[in-house]
Amino acid sequence: MKDSFDPKEYGAVADGIAVDTAAIQKAIDVCFEAGGGTVVLAGGTFVSGTIFLKSNVYLQVNPSAVLLANPDISDYPDGTHYNRYINEQDMDKCFIYAENAVNIGVIGQGEINGNAESFPNEGSIYRPMMMRFLRCTNIQVKGLRLYNSTAWTTAFLDSENIWCEDLDIRNDRKYNGDGLDYDGCTNVFISNCKILGTDDNLCLQASSKEYPMKNVHIVNCHFTSICAGIRIGLKSVGDISAVTIHNCTFENVWREGIKLECTEGGSITDIVAQGLVMRNVTRPVFMILNNRLDVIGSSVGLEVIPEIGTMERITLADITATDDEEMQHTHYRFTDDVMGSPSFNGIRIDACDSYPIRDVTLRNITYTFIGGVDKEDIPPAYPKVWDMRYNHPEQVSENYYPTWSRAAFMDIRNVERLTLEGIKLHAINKDTRAPYIIENCTVFKQEIVEY
C-alpha cells in the first residue's frame, strides 16, 4: 500500500505564486481513500486556502517547503466551526481544519506561514486562524515553524490525546496572536515549544460542562507575550483540572506569567507549576475567582451570570522572577492598548468574600521587582470582587480592573488555607506601597523575607 503522497502529482507547482489548494486537498483525499498515510510537501512554497485533514492522514511539511496562506479570502470556505468568545465571533475562517477525525497530524521541520500582512488586523472575518481541530482524537503537531498567523495559531476543541512538540510559534503581527489554545480537551502533552505572540501564548479553557479540560502536561517551553504567558480559564463554564507546568522560562511578558481565572461557574483545581524562571513579567502570578458575563471574553452560549465556581489546590513553587530596567516603562499592545506598568504589577490572588479560593501554596519564590512607585500616585480605594448576580458598586475588582496594584510585590485576599513558604522579595528602586498585603485569609504558614 502506498503510504506517501506528493501533491505535485495532482498539479501543485510550489512556486509561491500558483494556488495549490485543490492539488493538496486531492492528495489528502486520495491518501484517506487508500486507508491513510502521509502527504508530503517538499521543495518550494505551496500557496493554499483551507485544507481539510482527514482520519489517518498526516500532512508533512519538509524543511525545504513553506505552506503559505492564500491572501484570497474566497479560498477559505465556511464550515470550519466558529470562535467561542462572545467578543471574537468574527474569526471563523481557518487555514488547516479537521473535524471528527482520528489519528491525524501536521508534522515536519518546515514552515507554515499565515501570511498575516495580507489580511486585516482585527474585527473582520477576513483573517483565518492557522489551525482548528474539532472533536478529534490522537492529534500530533510537531517540529514545525508556525509563523505569522492572521489570528490564533491553533485551536484544539473538544478533543483528546494531543501532542504538541518542538514548535517555534511566532504570532506577533496582528491582534489575537495566540499560540496554543485548548478548549475542552483531555490528555494534552506540550513540550519543547517556543512561543512569541501578541496575546496569550498558551490557553486552557472549558467553555462547556460536557467537555472538561484535564490531564495537561506543559514542560520545557519558552514564552514571550504582549499579553499572558499561560492562561488557565476565563472560559470556565466547565471544569479545568490536573495541570502540570514544569521547567519553563518566561521573558518580556507584559501582563501575566501564570494566569488563572475561574469566571463562569466551573472549577479550576489541582494545578501545579514548578521550576519556572521569569524575566520582565509584569505580574508573575495572577489568580481570580469571580463571575461575569457581558464583558470581554465570555463564552458563546453563556446566557446568564452563573454562581461563582471553585478554585482549589493550587501549588506554585521554585519560581524566580526578576525585573530589569525595561520594566520602568509602560508597555502597550500596538499603539494604545496598555498592558503593564510599574504600578500594575506583582503577585495577585483575589476572590469574593463569600466564595474564597482554597488550598493555595506559594513556595520558594524569589521576586526582584523594579519598584519606584509612590503610593500617593495610585487611587486610595481598592475595589472588592463582588457576586455580579446582585447589586454591587460601579467599580469592582475583576479580571481587567483595577489597572493598578496596591501592594508592591504581592496582594492576596480571600484564601482559605494559604501557605507561604520561602518567599523572598526585593525592590530595585524604593517603593512606598506596602510590600505585601494578606487580607481575609486563613494562613497555615507565612514565611516572607524582604531584602
pLDDT score, position 401: 93
Cα separation of the two ends of the chain = 68
Fill in the DSSP letter of residue 372: -
pLDDT at 46 over 70: yes
Beta-carbon contacts of residue 335 (< 8 Å; ≥ 6 apart): none
Residue 125 pLDDT > 90? no
Dihedral, CA of residue 73, residue 148, residue 181 and residue 307, to nearest 10: -70
Contact between residue 414 and residue 356 where contact means Cβ atoms under 8 Å apart: yes
Neighbours of 279 (CB within 10 A): 18
- pLDDT-derived band at 120 (thresholds 50, 70, 90) equals confident
Q: CA–CA separation, 362 vs 273, rounded Å? A: 10
Query: What number of residues does the chain have?
Result: 451
3-state secondary structure of 325: helix
Averaged pLDDT, 415-424: 98
pLDDT for res 36: 97
Q: Using one digit for the tens of pLDDT, what is the confidence trace for 241-291?
A: 999 999 999 999 999 999 999 999 999 999 999 999 999 999 999 999 999
Neighbouring residues of 234: CB distance < 8 A, sequence distance ≥ 6: 205, 261, 263, 264, 297, 399
Higher pLDDT among residues 90 and 233, named by residue: 233
Non-local CB neighbours of 322 within 8 Å, separated by 6+ positions: 278, 279, 280, 366, 367, 368
Q: Which three cell numbers stand for residue 446?
A: 507565612
Most confident of 80-84, 359-363, 400-404: 359-363
Q: What pLDDT is attached to residue 313?
A: 98
What pLDDT score was predicted for residue 69? Answer: 98
Pairwise CA distance, residues 168 & 231, whole Å: 19
pLDDT beyond 70 at 416:
yes
Q: How many CA atoms lie within 13 A of 214 on its CB side?
A: 13
**Dmax of the chain from CA atoms?**
75
Query: Could you give the C-alpha distances from 195 to 11, 38, 179, 200, in angstroms and in order?
Result: 34, 27, 6, 10
Q: What is the mean pLDDT of residues 169-188?
A: 95
What is the distance between the alpha carbons of residues 315 and 441, in angstroms, rounded to a whole number? Answer: 16
Statement: residue 13 has pLDDT above 70: yes
What are the residue ranges spanned by the domains of the chain?
200-450
Q: What tens digit of pLDDT does each residue of 294-334 get?
A: 777 788 888 899 999 999 999 999 999 999 999 999 999 88
pLDDT tens digit string along 52-81?
999 999 999 999 999 999 999 999 999 999
CA–CA distance, 133 with 106 (Å, rounded to integer): 11
Q: What is the pLDDT of residue 337?
A: 86
Pairwise CA distance, residues 183 & 93, whole Å: 18
- Segment 40-55 shows an average pLDDT of 98
Q: Would you say residue 90 has pLDDT above 80?
A: no
Residue-level pLDDT at 1: 61
pLDDT: which is higher, 320 or 173: 320
**What's the confidence (pLDDT) of residue 319?**
98
Sign, CA dihedral 351-353-358-364, equals positive
pLDDT for residue 157: 98
The per-residue pLDDT of the chain, averaged, comes to 96
